[in-house]
Structure 1
Amino acid sequence: MALRTPIRAHSALPPGPRLPMAVQTVLFGAFRNALLPRLQRHYGDVVRLRLFPERSVVLIGDVDLVREIFAGPVETFHAGEGNMVLKPMLGEHSVLLTDEEEHRRARKLLMPAFNGAAMRGYRDMVTELTVAELDRWPEGRPFRAHDRMRALTLEVILRVVFGVSDGARLTELRRALERVIDVSALDLFGWHSPALQKFGPWRRNRERQERVDQLLHAEIAERRAAPDLAERTDVLSRLLTVPGDEQLSDVELRDQLITLLLAGHETTATALAWALHELARDPATAAETTRAADEGDEKYLEAVAKEAMRLRPIISEVSRKLTKDMQVGPYTVPAGYMVLPSISMIHASAEHHPAPGVFDPARFLDGGPPAGSWFPFGGGARRCLGAGFSLLEATIVLRELFRRFRVSAPQSRPERTKTRHITLVPGDGARIVVHRR
């Protein structure tokens, strides 16, 4: 297949189901794991859907097409517009929701927090917080690993963003963020409907979001007045000290902070929870992970995290909104459509990942899978800024955990996948049992 500006105006749209938009939205939002393989078998690697609120989207399950999308001009493939479903939570200035020059500006300002020097400085902090978290784990009885991983990665990102993770305001912010992010796929309807926000869970979600905003604005105001602002190295302080025309308004700062806080902890926590879910049911791979932890083999530990992200994608697809008509194989995808490179489809492909249903970290050693067939962090100019940080954090957590514990599952049956806002999480929280080695 090839991706190019259309040659024939009469080329057909890609095929897809004819179910009502509301039905397609519910199926896609709540039952994606079962839906996508059926769509791919029936319609192939390019499938058209109608989803609320974007209406017209095209799923892409072909590696070559995805590679071309990521390499395509950012003026044609708008990732920010493609992520607009998140606007009510993240705000219009979020690095995830802006395009072209505004996105380049935001990315430039945030990038120093995740460059090589900054990453080296985070190692001791992540290790310290991980050890403190593991010391609180119950031994010999089942518990939800996902909850503990979320608590840990939230502490880490709070330290990265604010430089500290204590104080009354941050204590309340910690609780408020957990409530804001704990929404189902159906709750997303309320994000885009002021009428629904007057009622029930949608009203409560709006009120929680408003409280988070109040806390963030209070933190920004206090930090602006800090006498040692110029000496601080946390993300907020860095953003407050950028020169001249680069300076951000309080609203822009709020949008970048909430993006880092939510995106910077939830995905890593879920990847670690899925890794523990798989290792608890695979004694041989768990033993190899223990060896790697004891020997400091971070290459293997990173491979464990990568394989968890492949087998259990945290986000099912990434999105780009077309600003002009594009030819996709025999189909024309019109301007205004969303094209969704499907992580789930490609990660489950036997063509690119032999025995795709098997948890096998070794596939990421000695070169790894084919280029373009693993992209949990997106790709191209919009690849996640925190990708390296996420893998570093996961590697350190796995190292410290398996130096201390053996991990088992309270039941052999795998947990189902549950949709939580836009992420795919263990349905029962990745319940595990740990025993001190």
Structure 2
Amino acid sequence: MAPTPLLGSRTLDRQTARTLPPGPKLPTLVQTVLFASHRRTFFPRMRDKYGDVFTIRLVPSSRVCVVLSRPDHIREVFGSPPAVMHAGEGNTVLEPIMGSHSLLLLDDEDHVRMRKQLMPAFSGAALRGYAGMVFELAQAEVAKWPVGEPFKVHQRMRNLTLEIILQVIFGVTDIDRLNTLRPLMDKIVSVSPVIMLGGFYPPLLRVRPWKTYLDTQRKVDEILYDEIAKRRETFAGRNDVLSRLLAAGNWTDVELRDQLVTLLLAGHETTATAMAWAFHELARRPEDLAFGQRAADAGADDELEATVKEALRLHPVVYQVGRRLTETTDIAGYRLPRGTTIMAAIGLVHRDAEHFPMPMDFRPQRFLSDDPPAPGTWMPFGGGARRCIGAGFSLMEGTEILRAALSVYDFQAPNPKPEPPQAKNVTLVPRHGSVVTVTRRRS
């Protein structure tokens, strides 16, 4: 099926433009820079000025993006037929990196088929099987933390989540192979917006730095294909994600490679950042730190998970998710033309006092009360048929990391002030790396 043309400078007529939600008249390039680097302040200002539904224009082709900030409007999007709300088409820029079979790039029947094959590896039973491995890797990482000296916990979390992906998802345990993969994978996950431009402008892929990145990717692919070939012979009885995928589905090597790279890129920086924010908040709040430590000591997974959830609410790693309309559709009181990009502004919902009382406060207990947040208001993993398939894995991972760290350490913040976020690709990371100091617990 041919991709849906973007609604933008080449396809938007003046009469249709007058029916769109209001929005800024700034040049497209200016709006793109504000969105890319300052979306956490840009979106609230636009909502304050233009209302709950507003329009921005972004490159390429001055594409029309309608931003939604109310849960009921976002539910309209998540509840619409996936054939009308394409997510894969909006991610085509990632194809040179993730591959054409990536779940993030597929729509319609192809997406349903691929998601169905992936689901058994992320079921509740499968997640319980991974938890022990994640906890052991987290224990090994936190044991290396410098005691009594400030350090950037975000980088430590990046190291840990990469190790979890290599051993728990890819199932690589050979020491020599791990030593070969770590520096290569670190380059892969450090993909920059400049590299991503190659998806919009394919000729760039033939020159540096794009060619250098793809050369590294090819080295990783050689190892992945070798792992896949070996695992096809020995996956029985193994408990990693790759082995579970082989046991549950009928895959080509290319399909498996694309899903593994997708899990790497979608699950590495996001979880590392969420946990960096969690430790940042706990280090600044002794009462919440004590709450988490009691939960770690008692094996209270609900309380630990609530801490992860609150970090994801207050600091959504992904600020918005997008869809592309494949046909003219009524959304949020507007009749939006085919090709419109819809953005569900997760960050705006998460900091709305209507849905989260005292929204600027870090309060894990809000997820444990008799009056928890209403359905459809907490959405760090998106929603509907395109909800992140790794959501359960991420929450399990965060729970085990907190258990490992809070069981042995007290946390302090050298600077008690909130650390500002900084845009990094599609994520919002702690600008200074989430600096903390740890000391051994006395009890």
Q: Within 5 Å, give how 1:211-360 maps onto structure 2.
A: 211-224=219-232, 227-241=233-247, 247-360=250-363
- Checking the alignment, whether the CA contact within 8 Å between 1:317 and 1:343 is kept in structure 2 is yes
Tell me if 1:79 matches 2:79.
no
Runs of 4+ in 1 over 6 A off after TM superposition: 8-11
- Checking the alignment, whether the CA contact within 8 Å between 2:121 and 2:241 is kept in structure 1 is yes
Cα deviation code 1:72-126 (max 9, x no counterpart): 1111111222333332321221111111211111111111111122112112111
Partner Cα distance (1:116, 1:75) in 2:
28
Match of 2:433 among 404, 419, 429: 429
TM-score normalised by structure 2 residue count = 0.90
> Which amino acid letter does the alignment assign opposite residue 402 of structure 1?
L
Q: CA shift at 1:183, angstroms?
A: 3.7
* Residue number in structure 2 paired with 1:408: 412
Describe the shift of the 1:71–1:329 C-alpha distance in structure 2 as closer, same or farther (beyond 3 A). closer
Partner Cα distance (1:215, 1:151) in 2:
20
| Identity %, equivalent residues | 50
> Which amino acid letter does the alignment assign opposite residue 56 of structure 1?
V
Describe the shift of the 1:233–1:129 C-alpha distance in structure 2 as closer, same or farther (beyond 3 A). closer
Q: Describe the SS at the equivalent of 1:123.
A: helix
* Residue number in structure 1 paired with 2:37: 30
Q: CA shift at 1:147, angstroms?
A: 1.1
With 68-77 and 181-190 compared, the bigger mean Cα shift is at 181-190
Cα deviation code 1:277-316 (max 9, x no counterpart): 1111112211222222222222221111101000001001
Tell me if 1:151 matches 2:159.
yes
- Checking the alignment, whether the CA contact within 8 Å between 1:188 and 1:421 is kept in structure 2 is no
> Which amino acid letter does the alignment assign opposite residue 77 of structure 2?
I
* Residue number in structure 2 paired with 1:381: 385
With 288-297 and 166-175 compared, the bigger mean Cα shift is at 166-175
Describe the shift of the 1:32–1:322 C-alpha distance in structure 2 as closer, same or farther (beyond 3 A). same
- Checking the alignment, whether the CA contact within 8 Å between 1:45 and 1:61 is kept in structure 2 is yes
Partner Cα distance (1:81, 1:121) in 2:
34
Tell me if 1:41 matches 2:48.
yes
* Residue number in structure 1 paired with 2:395: 391
Describe the shift of the 1:157–1:381 C-alpha distance in structure 2 as closer, same or farther (beyond 3 A). same
Q: Describe the SS at the equivalent of 1:319.
A: strand
- Checking the alignment, whether the CA contact within 8 Å between 1:76 and 1:324 is kept in structure 2 is yes
Describe the shift of the 1:317–1:211 C-alpha distance in structure 2 as closer, same or farther (beyond 3 A). same
Describe the shift of the 1:85–1:56 C-alpha distance in structure 2 as closer, same or farther (beyond 3 A). farther
Q: What is the alpha-carbon root mean square deviation over aligned residues?
A: 2.2
Partner Cα distance (1:175, 1:167) in 2:
13
* Residue number in structure 2 paired with 1:5: none
Segments of 5+ residues of structure 1 without an aligned counterpart are 1-7
Partner Cα distance (2:38, 2:195) in 1:
15
Partner Cα distance (2:124, 2:247) in 1:
21
Segments of 5+ residues of structure 2 without an aligned counterpart are 1-14
> Which amino acid letter does the alignment assign opposite residue 390 of structure 2?
G
Tell me if 1:12 matches 2:19.
yes
Tell me if 1:128 matches 2:130.
no
Describe the shift of the 1:401–1:67 C-alpha distance in structure 2 as closer, same or farther (beyond 3 A). same
Q: CA shift at 1:400, angstroms?
A: 2.0
Cα deviation code 1:177-221 (max 9, x no counterpart): 222222444543344223444555444333333333333233333
> Which amino acid letter does the alignment assign opposite residue 425 of structure 2?
H
Partner Cα distance (1:159, 1:209) in 2:
19
Q: Describe the SS at the equivalent of 1:433.
A: strand
- Checking the alignment, whether the CA contact within 8 Å between 1:88 and 1:192 is kept in structure 2 is no
Q: Describe the SS at the equivalent of 2:356.
A: coil
* Residue number in structure 2 paired with 1:21: 28
> Which amino acid letter does the alignment assign opposite residue 428 of structure 1?
H
Tell me the matched-pair count: 425
Q: Describe the SS at the equivalent of 1:280.
A: helix
TM-score normalised by structure 1 residue count = 0.91
Cα deviation code 1:358-402 (max 9, x no counterpart): 111111112421111110011112111121121111112112211
With 202-211 and 278-287 compared, the bigger mean Cα shift is at 202-211
* Residue number in structure 1 paired with 2:119: 111
Cα deviation code 1:289-348 (max 9, x no counterpart): 222222222222111110100000100111111111112344221111111111111111
Q: CA shift at 1:30, angstroms?
A: 1.1
Partner Cα distance (1:297, 1:238) in 2:
28
Q: Describe the SS at the equivalent of 2:202.
A: coil
Q: Describe the SS at the equivalent of 2:439.
A: strand
Partner Cα distance (2:192, 2:313) in 1:
23
Partner Cα distance (1:126, 1:189) in 2:
34
Describe the shift of the 1:218–1:411 C-alpha distance in structure 2 as closer, same or farther (beyond 3 A). same
